């Protein structure tokens, strides 16, 4: 988030998710995150449940939100992870208003 940006407008993007996956778990050979990330399951992209947990926690720390670890066990796709992170951001913003 840039300086002066309103916390209530904070959103994590697919690019943020891609960066967090690359930094935390790398990318399997033959996987094109630019093309495949929005549409494929984590397992098809070569990421196990630990990589999903690590990525979710990383994005949570970066955005100063806490998400219960159990949420990550239910996520199959990057879009679901992105939605969970952004829901937590919306909940925090609602609590702050």
Structural domain including 34 reads: 7-96
On whether residue 72 sits in a domain, the answer given is yes
Instruction: State the pLDDT confidence band at 9, using cuts at 50, 70 and 90.
Output: low
Residue 1 has what pLDDT? 43
Tens digits of residue pLDDT in 17-61: 999 999 999 999 988 888 888 889 999 999 999 999 999 999 999
pLDDT of 8 over the 80 cut: no
- Whether 2 maps to a domain, the answer reads no
Residue 1 counted as domain residue: no
Q: How far apart are CA 29 and CA 85, in angstroms?
A: 27
Amino acid 4: pLDDT: 39
Q: What is the pTM of this model?
A: 0.84
Q: What is the tens place of the pLDDT at every residue in 75-89? A: 999 999 999 999 999
- Residue 59: DSSP 8-state: H
Number of domains in the chain: 1
What is the CATH classification number for the domain harbouring 77?
1.10.1200.10
Domain for residue 24, yes or no? yes
């Amino acid at each position: 988030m840039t300086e002066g940006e309103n916390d209530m407008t904070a959103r994590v993007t697919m690019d943020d998710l891609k960066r967090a996956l690359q930094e935390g778990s790398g990318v399997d050979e033959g996987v094109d995150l630019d093309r495949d990330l929005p549409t494929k399951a984590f397992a098809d992209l070569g990421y196990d449940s630990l990589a999903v947990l690590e990525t979710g926690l990383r994005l949570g720390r970066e955005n100063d939100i806490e998400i219960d670890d159990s949420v990550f066990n239910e996520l199959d796709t990057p879009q679901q992870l992105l939605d969970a992170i952004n829901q937590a951001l919306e909940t925090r913003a609602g609590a702050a208003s």
